[in-house]
A and B are shown apart, each in its own frame.
Chain A
Amino acid sequence: MTTVLFFICAALAIVAALGVVTLRNPMHSALSMIATMVSLAVIYLLQKAEFIAAIQVSVYAGAVMMLIVYVIFLLDLKKESSLSTAMFTQNRVIAAGLGVLVLVVLMLPLAGTITGRKGDMTEAMLTRTGSVQYLADKLFTAYLLPFELASVLLLVGLVGAVALAKKKL
């Protein structure tokens, strides 16, 4: 059951990702991107990452994509007229070749064995505390400094975005 759901969501994610790359209208691309993110959120749920699934939907599909959609609305975009209608231009063939190369390189490690140090987020642990509480315990103790730095980064991003988007630069 889990595997079937995984494959459905994976197929949806790939189709939507192809839509982001190929659709002509930026708004359609953005909607496709939201579909990718939501199907990834379902996959995160299957992988015991409930908190990550929730922030994937609220931060990524909600906030970030809303920002992009607003900018698309705000700018008076004509259809990408320079996007040539020919299916295979030289650029695209080269780009597709490079994409296949990246795919092969990324897939190569899967042929061998992948190992790593086991953590303690086991099934028994999760039934005792719940994954969100366990994540929060780590985040606010061992990873407190990175957490605070991330908040500073967000503040810098906020100020930078407001300063850049002002009428007079």
Chain B
Amino acid sequence: MIPFEYGLGLSAVLFAIGVVGVLIRRNIIILLMCVELMLNAVNLAFVTMADNLDSVEGLLYVFFVMTVAAAEAAVGLAIVLAIFRKRETVHVDDMDLMKG
């Protein structure tokens, strides 16, 4: 059995990489991928603790996180398509309709 610290450490590293990716990249598709990366890191933490505590709840949470991630990816990519059709860009700095 793998010590749970290793799993949680790997999860923390992947989450931090995802955060940095969201901060430095400007392509919205890559941003979506970085969000998926962070969700994967969280899933890894859930599975690690489920393994460590012999508890099935962690695995069930992962199941629901994956459901939400799939729905999020579908809707997010549809929004990307709609924006690309209207404005010919996937560059987040060009998406300033709301003057953010």
Q: Verify B9–A52 contact, CB threshold 8 A.
A: no
Q: Is the CB of A82 within 8 A of B63?
A: no
Set A82, A138, A161: member contacting B77, Cβ < 8 A? A161
Whether B81 lies near A164 (C-beta < 8 A) is: yes
Tell me whether A74 and B36 are in contact (CB under 8 A): no
Q: Which of A61-105 contact B (CB under 8 A)?
A: 63-64, 67-68, 71-72, 74-75, 77, 80, 82-83, 91-92, 94-96, 98-100, 102-103
Cα A3 to Cα B5 with chains together (Å): 12
CA distance A116 to B16 in the complex (A): 25
Contact in complex: A114, B40 (CB < 8 Å): no
Contact B33 A52 (CB under 8 A): no
| Distance of A68 Cα from B80 Cα, bound (Å) | 10
B1 to chain A, nearest CB (A): 7
Contact B17 A156 (CB under 8 A): no
Within 8 A of A (CB), among B21-74: 21, 23-27, 29-30, 32-34, 36-37, 40, 43-44, 47-57, 59-60, 62-64, 66-74
Taking CB atoms, residues of chain B closer than 8 Å to A91 are 23-24
- A157 near B74: Cβ-Cβ < 8 Å: yes
Taken together as a complex, chains A and B put the C-alpha atoms of A43 and B91 apart, in Å, by 34
- Asked whether B24 lies within 8 Å of A119 as measured between CB atoms, the reply is no
Question: Which residues of A lie under 8 Å from residue B64 when comparing CB positions?
Answer: 146, 150
Residue in chain B with minimal CB distance to A80: B27
Residue in B11, B20, B67 whose CB lies within 8 Å of A21: B20
| B95 located at the interface, meaning its Cβ lies under 8 Å from any Cβ of chain A in the complex | no
* A82 CA / B77 CA spacing, docked (Å): 22
The answer for the CA separation of A91 and B29 in the assembled complex, in Å, is 20
Given A91-B23, A160-B74, output 7 extra A-B contacts at Cβ < 8 Å.
A2-B1, A64-B73, A67-B73, A82-B93, A102-B19, A106-B15, A107-B12
Q: Flag if B82 contacts A165 (CB, 8 Å).
A: yes
- Cα distance A2–B54 when bound, in Å? 18
Chain B: which residue is nearest A142 at the CB level?
B60
Could you tell me if A52 and B12 are in contact, using CB atoms closer than 8 angstroms? no
Do the beta carbons of B55 and A117 come within 8 Å of each other? yes
Residue of A nearest to B67 (CB): A150
